[in-house]
Amino acid sequence: DAKTTQPTSMDCAEGRAANLPCNHSTISGNEYVYWYRQIHSQGPQYIIHGLKNNETNEMASLIITEDRKSSTLILPHATLRDTAVYYCIVRTYTGTASKLTFGTGTRLQVTL
Amino acid sequence: DARVTQTPRDKVTEMGQEVTMRCQPILGHNTVFWYRQTMMQGLELLAYFRNRAPLDDSGMPKDRFSAEMPDATLATLKIQPSEPRDSAVYFCASGTPGGGVNTEAFFGQGTRLTVV
């Protein structure tokens, strides 16, 4: 699976949009971009994933650049409960089980 | 509310003792992952199974670790003998292959292991 690069940490004011970038310049055509987050002392939680189109769900939006070499996770209205480590993962989708390899992630701190 | 259940939540044991961690995947999920998390190494994949068969256990120290799925509702991770460097939080996750959200891995709350 392709390697990802994320900033170590970011701050965001509560109520504002949190934009978390991820670089995956070596991504290949059959690799998806996944985002997970881990709130302190809990197991990682799935947020969203995409291949090349932008995606949105009840938690977040995922914007993938046209060349697919980078993406941005957007939390439209960050709350204190969104404080967590956010992991961007590139994963090969084969229709069978494929492993999730976590990097170091971005520690997002949402403040009042 | 379907969830992955891990037991025990916390375990303190003495060096040299056998440790068994258990995981009950979400009913119907046929893929199980075991991860280990430490401050130094972050989240490391130890092994994963599909339909109870191991697909990849290359991340697991073979001499002391073993992972099995005795049946579809139970996955176990054993350490024998345990060492202080095994102290970590061990996460189990389950998922299903295929399209859409069902490809996702759903994580349990973890087992915090301390080996003294």
Q: What would the mean pLDDT of B104-112 be, rounded to a whole number?
A: 93
Q: What would the mean pLDDT of A51-60 be, rounded to a whole number?
A: 93
Using a CB–CB cut-off of 8 Å, the residues of B that contact A are 4, 31, 33, 35, 42-43, 45, 48, 50, 55-56, 91, 93, 95, 97-99, 101, 103-110
Q: Does A7 touch chain B (CB under 8 A)?
A: no
Looking at every residue in chain A, the average pLDDT score rounds to 91
Q: What would the mean pLDDT of A9-25 be, rounded to a whole number?
A: 97
Q: Do B104 and A49 touch (CB under 8 A)?
A: yes
The mean-pLDDT minimum among B31-40, B75-84, B90-99 falls in: B90-99
CA distance A108 to A77: 13
CA distance B20 to B80: 9
Q: DSSP string covering B60-116, please? A: S-TTTEEEEEEETTEEEEEESS--GGG-EEEEEEEE--SSGGGG--EE---EEEEE-
Distance from CA of B104 to the nearest CA of A (A): 7
Question: Is residue A60 within 8 Å of A74, Cβ to Cβ?
Answer: yes
> What percentage of chain B exceeds 70 in pLDDT?
93
Question: pLDDT digit string (tens) for B1-19?
Answer: 679 999 999 999 999 999 9
Q: What would the mean pLDDT of B74-97 be, rounded to a whole number?
A: 94
Single-letter code of the amino acid located at A29:
G
Q: Do A44 and B48 touch (CB under 8 A)?
A: no
Q: Does A111 touch chain B (CB under 8 A)?
A: no
Q: Do B107 and A43 touch (CB under 8 A)?
A: yes
pLDDT tier, A10 (very low <50, low <70, confident <90, very high otherwise): very high
Q: What is the pLDDT of residue B102?
A: 41
Q: What would the mean pLDDT of A85-101 be, rounded to a whole number?
A: 77
